[in-house]
Amino acid sequence: MLRLLVLHGPNLNLLGTREPSVYGQVSLSDIDKSITRRSGELGIAVQTKQSNSEGELVTWIQNARGHFDGIIINPAAYTHTSIAIRDAIAAVALPTVEVHLSNIHQREEFRHHSFVAGVAIGQIAGFGPTGYLLALEALTTHLGTRHTSSRTRADLRKKPAASRR
C-alpha cells in the first residue's frame, strides 16, 4: 500500500477564518477529512500534519524517508522563503507535489517564486481545497506508474530474449 505524507505549513491552521476571500471558508480539519476519505477510496494510506514551525516541517520531511512513498506539501509562506524546506525535500528524494489553495502566480509579486517548485514533481495552485485531492490523484498515479514501470523492466530482464518479441 502506498503511504503519503501531507504537510500543511504556517497559518493553515486558521483556514476557514483567515482571509476567507482568498482562502475560502473550509477549515483545515475539513480538508484533512476530505484527504482521508479520498485516500481510502484510492487504497492508499495518508498521514496529515500541520506546523507553523519551519524546523518542524524540515524534521518531518527528513523523517519521511523510509516511512512514506511520497509527500504532498503546502509550504504556505515558506514557499517563498525556505531554502531549508527545499533542501530537505531534495535530500530525501521522495516524489513531492506542492499545493497552494490560491493561485500564487496571480497574487503579489513576492509570491510568484517558489523555492519548492524546483525539487517537486509538480505544483497545483488555485483550486482551493480540491488541489489537495488533485495532488493525491497525481502522486498516486505517478507512484503507481513508477512502480509498474520498474517492475515491468525487471520482468523483461528475467525473460529470455526470444520471449520478448
How far apart are alpha carbons 38 and 12 in whole angstroms?
20
Taking phi over 0 as left and psi of -120 to 50 as alpha, with beta for the rest, 17 belongs to: alpha
43: cell is 487504497
Specify the length of the chain in residues: 165
100 is catalytic: yes
Cβ contact 93:86 at 8 Å: no
User: How many CB atoms sit inside 10 A of residue 66's CB?
Assistant: 7
- Count CB atoms within 10 A of the CB of residue 89: 25
Q: Is 78 a catalytic site residue?
A: no
* Catalytic member of 8, 78, 100, 132: 100
**Amino acid found at 14:** L
| 3-class secondary-structure state, position 32 | helix
Cβ atoms of 119 and 98 within 8 Å: the answer is no
Residues with a known catalytic role: 23, 100
